[in-house]
Amino acid sequence: MVGQTRLLTPESILRMETPKTSSAAQHGFRLGYGLANYTGVAGGVLTHGHDGGIDGFISSYRYMPEQNWGYVVLLNDAGAGEALENINRLVIEFLSKDYPKPYKPVNATAPAELQSFAGYYAQRAPRSQMLAFLDDLAGGIRIRALDGQLTRSSMFGKPQPLLAAGKNLFRTDKEPEGTTLFFADEAGHMAFTSIGDGGVSYAGRTTPLWPYARIVVLVLCATLMLSSVAFAVVWLLRKLFGRMKGVQHLAVRAVPLVAVLSLAAIPFCFNALHGSAIGTANIFTIGIYMATIVFALLSLLGVVLALRVPKTEINRAVRIHSLLVSLACCVAALFFASWGLIGLRLWAAQ
């Protein structure tokens, strides 16, 4: 109320707080994102609100109607996400300290039912499509049924117990109610959604073979690419001591090295960007755009040079190493292209 004017009705507030359109909501999950309003379980209680931030600040607004309190946090530092998370937790714990914190009881669940949820899950709904590749690199989520209990972990992480809080609904031991819901998607495949720590908007069950293979391939490519830098140090020392006289086809050695160095320039440029500069055309965003293209072109050129050089005019080990490095760069470039990162124009991203 503002004076005698009602701004919001109980019905409109309930609609703001209630998810309607997600697959989880359509399967009865009451937690999640409503209309610019989402639920959280920090501090052992269920809260509503919204976080936000743009250049120079971040903020959080949380409230709990059952306990009749709410608060706002404003921080003048866009990079203080961890501080904001800690402040939220401490404030919620303080405001709720005199109120009971009922936890949903743990339901007995048959081992066969737990096993039906087990498997490897890959995230399918990234918040930012441009950063979706980070989910691929993280490796996905493992759900296992161990000793009569469901657990969740990253691909190589420690399993975290999930306690049954209802039909297909689970929570951790520090959450007040079910925050993870399993359901069948439109094709009949198992999927899940969760809020809270490590929240996942939507993850579908799939085979773990490709995610594991992808990590192995990328680690092998990275190892080969980094070896070119180590070899460059050896070549430089040999050059200083006059051991490189008469060596032909230096481009076969240099091109893969320059490709790797151009890739290394990308995180340097990203680190130099701040605030609104990320979305404008400047020396660093253009540098990222050019570096990705140069990396792809030099990767291909390195393969061509290594294959075309006469075998009698170059050391066999040098030729094979340069070819392997260039092939590794080409494989990496294919991954980057599949993620939409080759020719990335941050100033044109929506």
Q: pTM (2 decimals)? A: 0.79
Structure confidence at residue 287 (pLDDT): 95
Q: List per-residue pLDDT tens for the chain, 350 residues long.
A: 678 888 888 889 889 999 988 888 888 888 888 899 999 887 788 899 999 888 788 999 999 988 899 999 999 988 888 999 899 989 999 999 888 877 667 777 888 899 999 999 998 887 777 778 888 888 889 999 988 889 999 888 889 999 998 889 999 888 888 899 999 988 889 999 998 777 888 899 999 898 889 999 999 999 999 999 998 888 787 777 777 676 777 889 899 999 999 999 999 998 998 777 888 899 999 999 999 999 999 999 999 999 999 888 888 988 999 999 999 999 999 999 999 999 999 988 64
Structure confidence at residue 155 (pLDDT): 82
The sign of the CA dihedral 243, 249, 255, 256 is negative
Structure confidence at residue 349 (pLDDT): 62
323-327 contacts, C-beta under 8 A, 24 or more apart: 324/224, 325/224, 325/225, 325/227, 325/228, 325/256, 325/257, 325/260, 326/255, 326/256, 326/259, 326/299, 326/300, 326/301, 326/302, 327/224, 327/303
> How far apart, in whole angstroms, are the C-alpha atoms of residue 215 and residue 236?
32
Which domains, and CATH codes, for the chain? 10-95 (no CATH), 111-208 (2.40.128), 210-348 (no CATH)
Structure confidence at residue 320 (pLDDT): 93
Q: What is the DSSP string of 21-56?
A: SSHHHHTT---SB-SS-EEE-GGGS-EEEEEEEETT
Residue 112, burial from CB neighbour count under 10 angstroms (0-12, 13-18, 19+): exposed
